[in-house]
Structure 1
Amino acid sequence: MYVELQEIGRGRFSVVKKCAQRNTRKDVAVKFVNKKLKKRKQASHEAALLQHLQHPQYLTLHDTYESPSAYILVLDLVDDGRLLDYLMKHDELMEEKVAFYMRDILGALQYLHGCRVAHLDLKPENLLIDLRIPVPRVKIIDLEDATRISGHYYVHQLLGNAEFTAPEVIKGTPVSLATDIWSLGVLTYVMLSGVSPFLDESSEETCMNICRVDFSFPLEYFTSVSQAAQDFIRATLQMDARWRPTVATCLLHPWLQPHYSNYSKIPLDTTRLTTFIERRSHQNDARPLPNAKSFIVNRNAMGT
């Protein structure tokens, strides 16, 4: 039914390939979830969510199959690349352009949160750019970890890279829609500076920085960034999730208004963004994060 053309992506438990439908020759993205990892629940969960979501910034699910070795999801193909790769290629990347795409991401997230669903894995690898339309738009992918929030919801399995992870995930306390807001704050910091706000020499130290909310705006990285942008990041990176703004409140921030005129006019440094992307491409997202219990035991070390 489908002819495999090339591999276009890998996740923690899956491989995504570009394929062509035999009868129509239409190109699609086919996601193969490895059965050996016993991820049937995640695959069916993602399929159910995609069937429910009706929004142009999420992939359309065309079909599902099962082979002896994999659970298979047939999806829209968006092969224009990731948002950060696209921004990196700008000759002069301006703060205003970053604000434009952050507003676009928030619009997509507003729809998801309106369905009471938290994505819980917002990171550069899960933000694609669609260039097939007059005004490029971001598409949010990979809903394996997404969940409907009703009451207290805990994330028990800590997998992946800690950089975009909210404190509540590391500590093992309930997550919420606001967990996504933290990740967006980290993403904004990275897009504007090309560096990661909490990254340290080890995953353990990175997690400690997150749990202490230990970040700053070094002048060498933020010379080209306005105070309004920094204020937006501060608002999202709150330890207590109850103090983080909702998506709707984020969209009301002055920095994200379509006619805001006080953006920095100094081009952003894309060389650091290039280094960030290269580093991320060599990381292994399948390794577990440090045990959350160690952070709860060592609260004194975190200053809490």
Structure 2
Amino acid sequence: MIPECPRTGDPRSRARFQHNPAPEPGQGRSGSGLLSEIKTTIKTEPFTDYYTIIPGKELGRGKFAVVRKCVEKCTGNEYAAKFMRKRRKGQDCRMEIIHEIAVLELATASPRVVNLHQVYEMASEMVLVLEYAAGGEIFNQCVADREEEAFSEDDVKRLMRQILEGVSFLHQNNVVHLDLKPQNILLTCSSPLGDIKIVDFGLSRMVCSHQELREIMGTPEYVAPEILNYEPISTATDMWSIGVLAYVMLTGISPFLGEDKQETFLNISQLNVSYTEEELQQVDQAALPFIQMLLRKQPQDRATAEQCLKHPWLQLSCHHVTKRVEILPVEDHEGSSSSSSSVSSPEPSSSNTTADEEVEDDGPVTEELIVVAAYTVGQCRQSSNSTSEKEVLAAKQKVISKRFKFEEPFSALQEVPGEFIF
């Protein structure tokens, strides 16, 4: 799946340079950030001799690749088979497929990255047999019209922690994904909500401190400013995309998406992002600093994946907080009996307050009040109090969702001549 020139045309296209020459034999990494060595055995037998392709809806499709569900005949296990064309727009792109295989091998130890099972090669295409994630893309929940189908804020926090764990693993191994978006993050199951799997490493690159890598690549509304400015990419480039992703998961709104691609790029380059959206006002306010520490123009100013994992917004992992309040020993005076009575026999209330009194035979009376405060940290969407308000909100969400669904993956790879900076 290789992008078109980003200066004109369909705003749903991706941009990157022409395919770089394959590295010399024996090199583990090319100057373009591509890995060239793999350990996986490439099978040349007919794929259908060993797998049955399940007829019906495809799991995914791009201009040069299609993903289908399949079943391994000898085990009955389900997998996702990614069929990738080796020749694209008259160019041999086999080395890019080899690079994707190498990155998947490198990420085998991470439970947050999809597993590679086998690889097959035919005359015109290669097939990557991948772990099957039955829950599909998180994109579906991000744009859900109905509140019960959308992510709650607690869902977002749990999934965001897992995304950051996967990205942190990749960054520790000098891999930048460069195309983090809801379509490239899958769920192991949808009901109950499963764990995430990061997929699609076709645009990923290896980075190192002693060599700069500059490329224009990614999905328009998720790309960082340095990509548009043709400045060096780094692990911080992914962190910008995570900031956009967090915004989308919480609100269902794509923060930089414009009417066309040029407006989208202008919004990114000028940091035109709103933090006053109604949907953001309904979530824990700690979420705003989290997003803001990622959507910063200068890469060096953005938080790392490890720093994000320590952010207060991601630390609240449960719905209930128990507070223990110790009351000083009760003095033997006239009002002590009424005070004791009020603690030991509390009236039921909406705050779920309970009390327990322990008295020692030979010591002063010590009372311990345990307050259990039950609350919800926040919801991604909240229902309105009146029917009319619900209808208005539903209409707004529908418009937002349709606008967001307009985004599709890029599909071609081509050098971008001339100026491409706003």
TM-score by length of structure 2 reads: 0.63
Pairing 1:67–2:112 present: no
SS of the equivalent of 1:196 reads coil
Paired residues of 1:13 and 1:39 also in contact (CA < 8 A): no
Pairing 1:154–2:213 present: yes
Q: 1:19 aligns with which of 65, 70, 81?
A: 70
SS of the equivalent of 1:18 reads strand
Pairing 1:110–2:168 present: yes
- Alignment gaps of 5+ in structure 1: 299-304
Name the structure 2 match of 1:302: none
Summarize the Cα distance change of 1:103–1:236 in structure 2 as closer, same or farther, 3 Å threshold.
same
Stretch of structure 1 that moved more, 15-24 or 277-286: 277-286
Q: Which has the higher contact order (CA 8 A, sep 6+)?
A: 2
Mapped to 2, the partners of 1:135 and 1:123 lie a distance apart of 18
- Alignment gaps of 5+ in structure 2: 1-49, 320-374, 383-392
Paired residues of 1:86 and 1:129 also in contact (CA < 8 A): no
Q: Deviations over 1:56-81 (max 9, x none)?
A: 12122121121122121111111221
SS of the equivalent of 2:136 reads coil
Q: 1:286 aligns with which of 411, 415, 422?
A: 411
Q: 1:130 aligns with which of 175, 181, 188?
A: 188
- After superposition, the CA RMSD in angstroms is 2.9
Mapped to 2, the partners of 1:290 and 1:239 lie a distance apart of 25
Name the structure 1 match of 2:60: 9
Stretch of structure 1 that moved more, 259-268 or 108-117: 259-268
Shift of residue 172, structure 1, vs aligned partner: 1.1
Paired residues of 2:279 and 2:380 also in contact (CA < 8 A): no
Read off the aligned partner of 2:270 and give its amino acid letter.
R
Summarize the Cα distance change of 1:276–1:291 in structure 2 as closer, same or farther, 3 Å threshold.
farther
Mapped to 2, the partners of 1:231 and 1:169 lie a distance apart of 24
Name the structure 1 match of 2:101: 47
SS of the equivalent of 2:293 reads helix
Summarize the Cα distance change of 1:259–1:48 in structure 2 as closer, same or farther, 3 Å threshold.
closer
SS of the equivalent of 1:43 reads helix
Pairing 1:78–2:153 present: no
Structure exhibiting the larger radius of gyration computed from Cα positions: 2
Mapped to 1, the partners of 2:280 and 2:414 lie a distance apart of 29
Q: Deviations over 1:78-135 (max 9, x none)?
A: 1221123246466174323212211121111111111121111100100001129987
Summarize the Cα distance change of 1:122–1:263 in structure 2 as closer, same or farther, 3 Å threshold.
farther
Summarize the Cα distance change of 1:253–1:211 in structure 2 as closer, same or farther, 3 Å threshold.
same
Percent of residue pairs identical:
34
SS of the equivalent of 1:227 reads coil
Name the structure 2 match of 1:207: 265
TM-score by length of structure 1 reads: 0.86
Summarize the Cα distance change of 1:199–1:50 in structure 2 as closer, same or farther, 3 Å threshold.
same
